[in-house]
Amino acid sequence: MPVNKEDYLVRFENVQKSYDGEILVVKDLNLNMAKGEFLTMLGPSGSGKTTCLMMLAGFEPATHGEIYLDNVPINRVPPHKRGIGMVFQSYALFPHMTIGENLSFPLEVRKMGKSEREAKVKNALDMVQLGNFADRRPAQLSGGQQQRVAVARSLVFDPDVVLMDEPLGALDKNLREQMQYEIKHIHERLGVTVLYVTHDQSEALTMSDRVAVFDAGVIQQLAPPNILYEEPENAFVADFIGDNNCLHGIVTSETENSCVVKTDDGSQIQANKINIKGVGQPSTLSIRPERVIVNPEPGQVPNIFEAKAAELIYLGDHIRTRMEVCGNDNFYVKIPNSSHHADLNKGDTVKIGWNEYDCRALDAFDN
Amino acid sequence: MTKSETGDLKTADGISLKLSLQRSLRRKKRNALLLVAPLFLFILITFILPIFYMLMKSVDNSITQEILPTAAPLLLKWDPKSGELPDEEVFKAFIIDGKVAAKEKTINRLGKRLNYEKSGTSSLFRKTGRKLRKLDPEKLTTTYQEALIGMDKKWGKLETWQLLHRESGPYTKSYFLSAVDMKQDVDGVTWKAEDSQIYLNLFKRTLWLSFLITFLTVLLGYPIAYLLATLKTSTSNLLIILVLLPFWTSLLVRTSSWIALLQKEGVINDFLFAIGLISNDGRLAMIHNQTGTVVAMTHILLPFMILPLFSVMKTINPSYVRAARSMGADSFTAFRRVYFPNTIAGIGAGGILVFILSIGYYITPALVGGTQGTLISNFIAYHISGSLNWGLAAALGTLLLLLVVALYILYDKIVGIDNMKLG
């Protein structure tokens, strides 16, 4: 990561956006993107991520703040002069042109010569393994092929930045996963800077160097995928990324690195102090299902509680078990499919426990 | 399902699968036919048959053989280029047929029919009919020829018989020839005298005005349709109501209001006079001429252009233009290269609709067209209800129909009818 802010390729500085003058869709966005980075904006619909993309592309003006591209403020630069490639969710391939003409379009408007154009179009199509499709029309291609053409078209004029607005949203699951890898590989090969928008967290985790989790117009956390999953900084991120168990309670005591949270049913839980407001304040505890230990040895972990198995869902490699513990009847535990699981039946009472480190005390987000 | 020895598939009961399939589909087909049958009969009786009947009128000439049942076939054997009058036999047959027709008073109808080809024929037949009624063919002292020529000298002229000979067959092409300003005489088909040529110019004017009106509706309708397609739904619905409003107003009211606006003492002239742009003598003639027809018809046909355009533009994904812009096209290039080509289907649909409607438009040109702004349909109406020359009206109508079909085929060849979207 660059040290000076001037070294970043894209910078959002205090950007705000409102459509109606009453509600801020984007509240004070500050975001820096390094050259060659694959950054994903992840969030539920209406969280402001697509608006950010549209502001960078130039289709929506920022209400306040400034966006810099290569240290040039671009608020007043029209979209066609920004030199930013874009892949749309609907692909937006021009139906009246062939695939070759579609790819040639950005080069033609740049007044590039014919032979150079043809070479570039061919290169771009070869890159997505569609070299023989130049003469077809978009309607003759499958969804996945159209998607690849859209990617090739956004890259054919060598833009510095490529924006992708949920480009895989319309594909079925297998194809989506395959395309995730393809886009990732293209990114690695070309070293192009990609700003990617999606609401699919596995997509974000698979592809990105860094993920910005959006909610309510604010970046909740900006971090590499592994940090995001293992060290969520607030309850929204903990709940949004991956499977998560939430326990609500009041902080009763705190030390430098840990605290004790008391839930409504009186259980005292030792937790990793991350983001709390102090003793007496509410907090949300986040525990990943795979970090919960069933039948721990006494003293093995500080938190051991009685739990009742309310529901067992067989998922092949593991048994997803819904348990009632600490007054929460929606507590999931992943039990690996080994010899242990045979011991557990619906309605059984069992001891479960977890480490202090794995139980993160976060803000009082109420889901 | 088993396979029989002959190789065709059988159902579980051993009936041929194909037969069984046919049987099961037959009921479906019958139901479908029953559902469309009432409408089909209605269309057949009220639309297809009358049109067919009218088209036949344009070549129908059965009247001659009906009124002169013996003379007409005999006359057909005569060579009109021989330079001699027909045989005595023909004259005899004509007098005998004519006597019967004169008694039944049908001879005047034939005169009227032949008068379309040559004026004066009607009075010739009336006069001859009067005299034939008094004549007793049995007690003739002269030849039949002399007797007939005695009734009117025109019967001694070759051209009278040439005309009668030409129109003795059951079918005639004279209506179609008239419809394109041509005539037939003994030497063949020639143009009519220049001062009596009207229909070709009328066809030309109809085509030109229809083209102009179509062009104007595209020019005026395209921006409106674009606005409608890009506004948010609640606003665009309101505007669509405004576009549709003319449909709910009587055509006569709309056309008359144009008269009120455009006439010499009308609103627009008064306004221009009031602000001093024109003098009182220089008031513009904007109605009862081509300008009136073009203005009023453009206004009336505009919705037929806007609606197909709107429905096509509505389907154009706004991200097309955005994609073009992101790839470096300025807004004009994005429009020209990406947006406009995708609206051609709408322009085609609206264009062909407006053009075909205006080519056969009647009421508005009749009210505001004066003499210079009338179209072919006004003359068809005139021949139907004024001159009662139905044959010519039918011929003009047939030509108009053929013209429309030809344009449709041309459109299909150039744009492709499958690309047309009406909604």
Radius of gyration of chain B, Cα coordinates, nearest whole angstrom: 32
Domains of chain A listed by start with CATH number: 5-235 (3.40.50.300), 244-362 (2.40.50.140)
| Whole-number pLDDT of residue A329 | 86
Across the interface, which of A59, A88, A96 has its CB nearest the CB of B341? A96
| Whole-number pLDDT of residue A95 | 92
**Interface contact A92-B327, CB threshold 8 A:** no
pLDDT tens, position by position, B84-134: 888 888 899 999 899 899 888 888 899 999 988 888 899 999 999 998 888
Distance CA B70, CA B90 (A): 9
With CA atoms as reference, the chain A residue closest to B337 would be A105
ipTM over 0.85: no
CA-based nearest residue to A271, from A153, A351, A359: A359
| Whole-number pLDDT of residue A10 | 93
What are the structure tokens assigned to B333, written together? 């290039």
Distance CA A15, CA A254 (A): 37
Kindly report the CATH class assigned to B199-419.
mainly alpha
Across the interface, which of A95, A110, A157 has its CB nearest the CB of B342? A95
Q: What residues of chain A score a pLDDT lower than 50?
A: 367
| Whole-number pLDDT of residue B1 | 44
**Interface contact A96-B342, CB threshold 8 A:** yes
B-interface mutation test, from A86, A89, A109, most B Cβ less than 10 A away: A109
Tell me the nearest-neighbour CA distance from B415 into chain A, angstroms. 13
Residue B47's SS3 state is: helix
With CA atoms as reference, the chain A residue closest to B321 would be A92
**Interface contact A57-B328, CB threshold 8 A:** no
Distance CA B409, CA A313 (A): 66
Helix (H) or strand (E) holding B113: helix B107-115
| Whole-number pLDDT of residue A367 | 46
* B251-262 and B290-315 helices, crossing angle to 10°: 130
Across the interface, which of A78, A96, A157 has its CB nearest the CB of B327? A157
* B158-166 and B121-134 helices, crossing angle to 10°: 100
> Which residue intervals of chain B bear CATH 1.10.3720.10?
199-419
**Interface contact A105-B322, CB threshold 8 A:** no
DSSP-derived pairing of the beta strands A210-215 and A38-42: parallel
**Interface contact B338-A94, CB threshold 8 A:** yes
**Interface contact B326-A86, CB threshold 8 A:** yes
Tell me the nearest-neighbour CA distance from B328 into chain A, angstroms. 4
CA-based nearest residue to A97, from A50, A123, A135: A135
Query: Residue holding tokens 């043809």?
Result: A118
Tell me the nearest-neighbour CA distance from B202 into chain A, angstroms. 39
Across the interface, which of A88, A92, A106 has its CB nearest the CB of B328? A106
**Interface contact B322-A57, CB threshold 8 A:** yes
**Interface contact A109-B320, CB threshold 8 A:** no
Across the interface, which of A84, A96, A110 has its CB nearest the CB of B326? A84
Helix (H) or strand (E) holding A30: strand A24-33
Q: Which residues pair with A40 in a beta bridge?
A: A196, A211
From residue B123, alpha-carbon distances to A94, B71, B109, B363 in Å are 72, 20, 11, 35
Instruction: Judge whether A77 is closer than 8 Å to chain B, CB to CB.
Output: no
| Whole-number pLDDT of residue A300 | 85
Residue A327's SS3 state is: coil
Which residues between 91 and 130 in chain A have a beta carbon less than 8 angstroms from any beta carbon of chain B? 92, 94-96, 105-106, 109-110
Residues of chain A found within 8 Å of residue B331, distances taken between Cβ atoms: 78, 80
Q: How far is CA B36 from the centre of its chain?
A: 28
The answer for residues whose C-beta is within 8 angstroms of residue B117's C-beta and 6 or more apart is B163, B166, B167, B174, B183
pLDDT tens, position by position, B287-330: 889 999 999 999 999 999 999 999 999 999 989 999 999 999 99
Q: What residues of chain B score a pLDDT lower than 70?
A: 1-8, 417-423
- State the distance between the two ends of chain A, measured CA to CA, in whole angstroms: 34
| Torsion angle defined by CA atoms of residues B242, B248, B251 and B254, in that order, rounded to the nearest 10 degrees | -40
Residue A165's SS3 state is: strand
From residue B312, alpha-carbon distances to A271, B316, B399, B423 in Å are 61, 7, 32, 7
Question: In this complex, how many residue pairs, one in chain A and one in chain B, have their CB atoms less than 8 Å apart?
Answer: 68
DSSP-derived pairing of the beta strands A258-263 and A245-254: antiparallel
Residues of chain B found within 8 Å of residue A57, distances taken between Cβ atoms: 322, 326
**Interface contact B323-A88, CB threshold 8 A:** yes
B-interface mutation test, from A77, A93, A96, A158, most B Cβ less than 10 A away: A96
| Whole-number pLDDT of residue A328 | 86
| Whole-number pLDDT of residue A114 | 92
What are the structure tokens assigned to A251, written together? 């902080």
Distance CA A193, CA A34 (A): 8
pLDDT tens, position by position, B173-202: 999 999 999 988 777 888 888 888 889 999
Residues of chain B found within 8 Å of residue A59, distances taken between Cβ atoms: 322, 325
Ordered DSSP codes for B168-202: -SSB-SHHHHHHTTEEEETTEEEEPPGGG--HHHH
Instruction: Judge whether A58 is closer than 8 Å to chain B, CB to CB.
Output: yes
Tell me the nearest-neighbour CA distance from A186 into chain B, angstroms. 19
